[in-house]
Chain A
């Protein structure tokens, strides 16, 4: 595509002001009813459905000219889709962009919550593929809307219970359902359940946009978010046997990188900015400098 001819002729951040107002109204409603999925008139976007159109629309609606945007996918700023969306806003909004979590005022993410603790002056925008946490238990929207209205979440508990009965544990590892502010059960988007505790009592506003399914929902700052569990089977996050091979961080989410076809593997921070910052601060993992993994895979 031509890189120069397109930026002009479009409104700030691509969407027209009326559309942005419509999205902002949905966002306000979503904030007023934490965890509730607000239907909105999702627009056709110049990227495919399922690739972040919901997140992009929410970001476009909250972005101002003074904002600094960070976009991550799988925790990394350098993954292809993150690069694409960041470029999109560079071109259509002309805002500053950054890879540093601490420098960003708006962070759009897919599949991760940054490791760095977020602040009150930041907004985290999630890209959501399937907003309905009950969808895989009940495929029909007419039914699930009613279940939410009645706060009838027995299905979900039965599902988790069946997991325990069959496997001795809850076998959901990502998109792990949460109860928001004691009322609505919400899909936190497919973040690993490792990230669930960061969603609760977070200082930043968290917005969730699902473009194809036309839903927006929100977790306002410092909202109680509880991962569903049972008294005798309390919620637990993933743990890793070894620290990050590059920055030695523990208690972070790690990516497994295959080094060869003979079983060689290493584990590195999924949050690349966090990892870089730690290395700058002098932390050294056991494989730092030994593997050609400075830049990230395209």
Chain B
């Protein structure tokens, strides 16, 4: 029993043993392999990598298996593993212009250099349950195009040629980039730290905040300048070599929102930017992140701060689902010492309250 203070150890061990048993489910159904999860639950794996802040599809798949498909639990496992890894250094900035894109769309131009490439997408599918998939999931082979994809300059770069969009407020050359996982978050936070927090933040929370800006709570007038999904090379400069070496490729989703800005005393009217980035195919996350990034730039751009999505402390302090789930679920822990103190207090106050009332009634009767 839960309240049996001694003997809890055996109870916990038994509970976990039962959990392992439950996770396996019906033993007559074949067990899931890590490769199956990695290959067929790709978007789930991508999400765990993004919020776990670690690019390792096999590890994320294993975490999902261990977590019985619970996303936050899987993120938890990945983060707990990540924190044990030694830190050699930081990669070179990634060049997403050179992305080998499997998808690239822009909502602000009908056509543009490099073209609109839909790639594999749920968009424009009708959400009708495909009962055929229950019986036989073999899809037809995809069509191939003879023409190679052309270069895909960033849409924001095209706008920049006319000065219509703000220059990326870039960091100074050589200045260190903040690292949320190595230093405590301090307010006000720089954009580098805000973007890190949003990138690993809970998709549902960031999505809801982004949505709230669309509904008037901190409106940012967004247009999807561009979304691109594809492989990007990661390079690293080892100190002893002094030049960049290729570490490998990661699949990324990048979203650049373009937002109206009517100008201020110091800046002319121009479009401003919101930026979103996620591991794998995390389009929803990247879009929502870009909306919230822009909303959080309210202070920098001299806008009124009225809505939750513009409130840096509110957003950054609550977007991490491990922190949220940890603290919400900690309410399951025994609290009976504190509760005992409260019980005692409430009893005492009730007694005092009753006494006062009796005194009052006696007084009224006397009058």
Bound Cα distance A83, B124 (Å): 8
Contact A6 B126 (CB under 8 A): yes
B116 within 8 A of A: yes
Distance (whole angstroms) from the CB of A141 to the closest CB of chain B? 10
Q: Which of B101-117 contact A (CB under 8 A)?
A: 109-113, 115-116
Distance (whole angstroms) from the CB of B222 to the closest CB of chain A? 12
Majority-rule SS of B interface residues: loop
Residue of A nearest to B262 (CB): A171
Bound Cα distance A46, B128 (Å): 6
B219 within 8 A of A: yes
Residue of B nearest to A130 (CB): B215
Contact pick for A1, options B116, B130, B153, B215, CB 8 Å: B130
Q: Which of B242-290 contact A (CB under 8 A)?
A: 262, 269
Contact A139 B130 (CB under 8 A): no
Bound Cα distance A258, B152 (Å): 12
Contact B124 A136 (CB under 8 A): no
Contact B113 A46 (CB under 8 A): no
Contacts A135-B216, A263-B161, A296-B110 hold; do A46 and B115 have CB atoms under 8 A apart? no
Distance (whole angstroms) from the CB of A253 to the closest CB of chain B? 12
Contacts A80-B118, A139-B216 hold; do A1 and B157 have CB atoms under 8 A apart? no
B339 within 8 A of A: no
Distance (whole angstroms) from the CB of B258 to the closest CB of chain A? 14
Distance (whole angstroms) from the CB of B339 to the closest CB of chain A? 38
What mask results when residues 121 to 141 of chain B are scored 1 for a CB within 8 Å of chain A, else 0?
001111110111000000000
A237 within 8 A of B: no
With an 8 Å Cβ cutoff, the count of chain A residues facing the other chain is 37
Contact A257 B110 (CB under 8 A): yes
Contact B158 A261 (CB under 8 A): yes
- Candidate in A83, A135, A297 with the most chain B CB atoms within 10 angstroms: A297
Contact pick for A46, options B109, B110, B127, CB 8 Å: B127
Contacts A80-B123, A297-B116, A298-B116 hold; do A257 and B109 have CB atoms under 8 A apart? yes
Contact A257 B111 (CB under 8 A): yes
With an 8 Å Cβ cutoff, the count of chain B residues facing the other chain is 30
Residue of A nearest to B307 (CB): A139
Bound Cα distance A293, B262 (Å): 34
Contact B116 A47 (CB under 8 A): no
A167 within 8 A of B: yes
Bound Cα distance A2, B140 (Å): 11
Contact B113 A258 (CB under 8 A): yes
Contact A47 B215 (CB under 8 A): no
Contact pick for B130, options A2, A48, A259, CB 8 Å: A2
Bound Cα distance A46, B126 (Å): 5
Contact pick for A297, options B111, B153, B219, CB 8 Å: B111
Distance (whole angstroms) from the CB of B143 to the closest CB of chain A? 13
Q: Which residues of A have CB within 8 Å of B118?
A: 80, 298
A84 within 8 A of B: yes
Distance (whole angstroms) from the CB of B158 to the closest CB of chain A? 6
Q: Which residues of B have CB within 8 Å of A5?
A: 130-132
Q: Which residues of B have CB within 8 Å of A6?
A: 126, 128
List residues of chain A with CB under 8 Å of any chain B CB. 1-2, 5-6, 45-48, 74, 76, 80-81, 83-84, 87-88, 91, 130, 135-136, 138-139, 166-167, 171, 255-261, 263, 293, 296-298
List residues of chain B with CB under 8 Å of any chain A CB. 109-113, 115-116, 118, 123-128, 130-132, 153, 157-158, 161-162, 214-217, 219, 262, 269, 307
A-B contacts, 29 of them at CB < 8 A, read A1-B126, A2-B130, A2-B132, A5-B132, A6-B128, A46-B127, A47-B126, A47-B127, A83-B124, A84-B125, A84-B126, A130-B215, A130-B216, A135-B215, A136-B216, A139-B215, A139-B307, A167-B262, A255-B109, A256-B109, A257-B109, A257-B110, A257-B112, A258-B158, A261-B157, A296-B110, A297-B110, A297-B111, A297-B116
Besides A84-B124, A258-B109, A297-B116, 20 more A-B contacts (Cβ < 8 Å) are A1-B126, A6-B126, A46-B126, A47-B127, A74-B110, A76-B110, A81-B124, A130-B214, A139-B215, A139-B216, A139-B307, A171-B262, A255-B110, A256-B109, A257-B109, A261-B158, A296-B110, A296-B111, A297-B110, A297-B115
